[in-house]
Amino acid sequence: MTNHKLPIFLLLASCLLCGCQKKEATFQYNVDKFYDLEILRFDVPEFDQLTLQQKQLVYCLNEAALWGRDILFDQNGRFNLRIRRACEALYLNYPYDKNDEAFAAFERYLKRVWFSNGIHHHYSEDKFLPEFTQEWFVAACEKAGVKFDEAILPVMFDPAVMAKRMTAQDGVDLVVGSAGNYYGEGVTQKEAEAWYDAHKDNSAEPLWIGLNSQLVKNEKGEIVERVYKVGGLYGEALEHIVYWLKEALKYAENDAQRLVIEKMIAFNETGDLKLFNEYCIAWVKDLDSRVDFVNGFTETYTDPLGITGTWESMVNFKDLTATKRAQLISENAQWFEDHSTTDPKYKKEEVKGVTAKVITAAILAGDCYPATPIGINLPNANWIRKEYGSKSVTIDNLMHAYNEAAKGNGFNEEFMIDDEIRDIFMKYGAACGDLHTDLHECVGHGSGKLMPGVSKDALKEHASTIEEARADLFGLYYLADPKLVELGLLPNMEAFKAGYYQQMMNGAMTQLVRIEPGKDVEEAHMRNRQLIANWVLAHVDPVQPEVEIIERDGKHFLRVNDYDGLRRLFGQLLADIQRITSEGDYPAAKEMVETYAVKVNPELHKEVLERYAKLNLAPYKGFVNPVYTAVCDDEGNITDVKIDFTEGYVEQHLRYSRDYSPLPDVN
């Protein structure tokens, strides 16, 4: 499995300083903050410069995006829609003083449900429990006249019921132990894997079996698919999505884009995976359209077996100036492939079609909302990437929003070792962040090849972690290469130090603020970052360590003694990770992940949490969307599209639930 969300997906605020001056200070980026979450707003620069046809297209694709929200809620857990709707009804009809403490706790819980698209933390996978009691909830609902399915009560309040959205714990049945709604009740990991093995497509152009379906048991106890399609599972939502995609067809910029939309419509109507392959190929080939979109079942992170895609959408348009940077990397993709540290037999002889661009996000939805990637590389199918290439995008306006919202937060002063590294970071941190994103997405995921006979899912539950580490390491190795200075992508050979220091500090220490005391690291991107940092620290020179964690005045800091040596270590690990990927070496992947990526040093964890708490920062961030309004003439024709940035977090989610919620409680 390749692609995926950026490995520095929603990093801590430290890497989000150094924003460029793209927007006047009057734009309000900060919206809300609760628990470990902060809600931001993003600008959509140059929207007003789009043609009317492009604005019309964005509007229709925006509507298609919003109608999929219920799908993700249900995929994340079969009780999520019932819980969300009961809580929203109580919120709207609460019969007591809304300033009381119990209601405040209830409101925070509902905000978390919206943010995570369900009752499990969007990153740690753990179920979050209400701070109000079951008795209070039942009494308040009764007083408010809110009726609900009592089956939701143990799911909400009992910590042992559906404790994890997805478990990656060794020795546990990954399907039974996960609350995600990708498998029906009674289906076990062994049964699901046997079904997938029996239906595996080994042809030259394989179908991604299981991408758009739920495995359940029929009346005879046999495993069967419930396919996501119009007239099938999630059909009520997909009907609306199809309607708006058909409206979008009217405003397609060219024939290539029209074909993309037509293929996605046909796939949603039929569930035919051959049509999905045709959609992916058409999408990769559409290089000229300024407006682009993702809409459908895409990433497989939260399926414990890494097969079924979660529903997501992102509508965007090309940032014409910034795209030149990404294209320059893409044009040199073969050079990067040829000069990597990996064994030549695992390298691609010819890197095809790695197209890259920097985009402006117009709308986020599904698994891209509220928390979102800031870089994407698609499609995921290896054979399509090999034969037709891939698209890599960096989402510039979201990165800018993070930068602006994080200025002056004190993080660097608390966790970076000295003024020298802080100065380097202030000078070059933003440039390194952009470049690492581009390298990761444009050439990292597209690098290397599988050996003949190796399946895309050979690494099973560890596939996402290993793949993200592979792309991250590819980017890190080249971040320090003189080639980037030669290409004009970095100003000098000192700049890369900002990216190297941040990667090691975050992976070894500061990302621990996202982990609860006593918990293991579960999420694939966090495992990736810790794997890299811990592997490096375990393989340094014992006499003259290239990098180390030292103690100073009772606090621990990362210190890099030899940046060139650190690059060599990144290169060594890249070669090993590529070998594991290319050969589908599951035992080696399992050992690598379990040795370096999972366990947390409890003493260091406690210290980091205490230091971070003093800064009053939220380690996770997400967004509210702009509101698009069509201006129509008397005949109903769209004559303009207006954009508004004033809608609040609560108001937006209540509106989405009111206007874009077609699925029944039980699907």
Q: Would you place residue 4 in the very low, low, confident or very high pLDDT band (cuts 50, 70, 90)?
A: very low
pLDDT at 635 (0 to 100) = 93
Q: Would you place residue 356 in the very low, low, confident or very high pLDDT band (cuts 50, 70, 90)?
A: confident
- CA-CA-CA-CA dihedral for 496, 498, 501, 505, to nearest 10: -140
Q: pLDDT (tens digit, 9 = 90+) per residue, 638-659?
A: 999 999 999 999 999 999 999 9
Lowest mean pLDDT among 269-278, 319-328, 538-547: 319-328
Q: Would you place residue 404 in the very low, low, confident or very high pLDDT band (cuts 50, 70, 90)?
A: confident
The sheet carrying 620-624 orders its strands as: 30-34, 37-41, 620-624
pLDDT value at 16 more than 50: no
For the chain, the domains span 13-46+319-623
* DSSP code for 14: G
Mean pLDDT of the chain: 92
pLDDT value at 442 more than 50: yes
Cross-strand partners of 294: 314
Mean pLDDT of 9-27: 42
Rounded Cα distance, 199 and 191, in Å: 12
Percentage of residues in the chain having pLDDT higher than 90: 80
State both tokens at 357.
């661009």
| SS3 per-residue string spanning 276-321 | HHHHHHHHHHCCCCCEEEEEEECCCCCCCCCCCCCEEEEEEEECCC
Rounded Cα distance, 72 and 77, in Å: 9
pLDDT at 353 (0 to 100) = 61
Runs of H (alpha helix) within 77-203:
80-93, 101-116, 134-144, 152-157, 189-198
Q: What is the DSSP string of 512-578?
A: GGGS-TTPPP-SHHHHHHHHHHHHHHHTS-SSS-SEEEEEETTEEEEEES-HHHHHHHHHHHHHHHH
Contacts 24+ apart (CB under 8 A), 152-157: 152/79, 152/82, 152/83, 152/86, 155/77, 155/79, 155/83, 155/119, 156/83, 156/119, 156/129, 156/130, 157/129, 157/130, 157/133
Helix (H) or strand (E) holding 127: none
pLDDT at 8 (0 to 100) = 32
Identify the residue whose tokens are 């079904």: 195
Cβ neighbours of residue 188 under 8 Å, at least 6 residues apart?
173, 175, 176
pLDDT value at 14 more than 80: no
Q: Would you place residue 25 in the very low, low, confident or very high pLDDT band (cuts 50, 70, 90)?
A: low
Q: Would you place residue 17 in the very low, low, confident or very high pLDDT band (cuts 50, 70, 90)?
A: very low
Instruction: Evaluate whether 242 touches 68 at the Cβ level (below 8 Å).
Output: no
Q: pLDDT (tens digit, 9 = 90+) per residue, 118-173?
A: 999 998 899 999 999 999 999 999 999 999 999 999 999 999 999 999 998 888 99
Mean pLDDT of 340-366: 90
Q: pLDDT (tens digit, 9 = 90+) per residue, 309-347?
A: 999 999 999 998 878 888 888 899 999 999 999 999 999
Q: pLDDT (tens digit, 9 = 90+) per residue, 587-638?
A: 999 999 999 999 999 999 999 999 988 888 888 899 999 999 999 999 999 9
pLDDT at 2 (0 to 100) = 40
Instruction: Evaluate whether 526 touches 511 at the Cβ level (below 8 Å).
Output: yes
State both tokens at 396.
């510039």
pLDDT at 399 (0 to 100) = 85
pLDDT at 13 (0 to 100) = 34
pLDDT at 120 (0 to 100) = 97
pLDDT at 232 (0 to 100) = 98
pLDDT at 560 (0 to 100) = 97
Helix (H) or strand (E) holding 225: strand 223-227
pLDDT value at 178 more than 80: yes
Rounded Cα distance, 273 and 208, in Å: 7
pLDDT at 406 (0 to 100) = 74
pLDDT at 7 (0 to 100) = 32
Instruction: Evaluate whether 386 touches 352 at the Cβ level (below 8 Å).
Output: yes
Give me the amino acid identity at 621.
Answer: K
pLDDT at 22 (0 to 100) = 42
Rounded Cα distance, 267 and 298, in Å: 13
pLDDT value at 362 more than 70: yes
Lowest mean pLDDT among 8-12, 177-181, 416-420: 8-12
Helix (H) or strand (E) holding 438: helix 419-438
Neighbours of 557 (CB within 10 A): 18
Neighbours of 158 (CB within 10 A): 13
pLDDT at 271 (0 to 100) = 98
Q: Would you place residue 5 in the very low, low, confident or very high pLDDT band (cuts 50, 70, 90)?
A: very low
Positive or negative: CA dihedral 586, 588, 591, 595: negative
Longest dimension (CA), the chain: 79
Helix (H) or strand (E) holding 329: helix 323-331
Q: Would you place residue 18 in the very low, low, confident or very high pLDDT band (cuts 50, 70, 90)?
A: very low
Q: Would you place residue 373 in the very low, low, confident or very high pLDDT band (cuts 50, 70, 90)?
A: confident
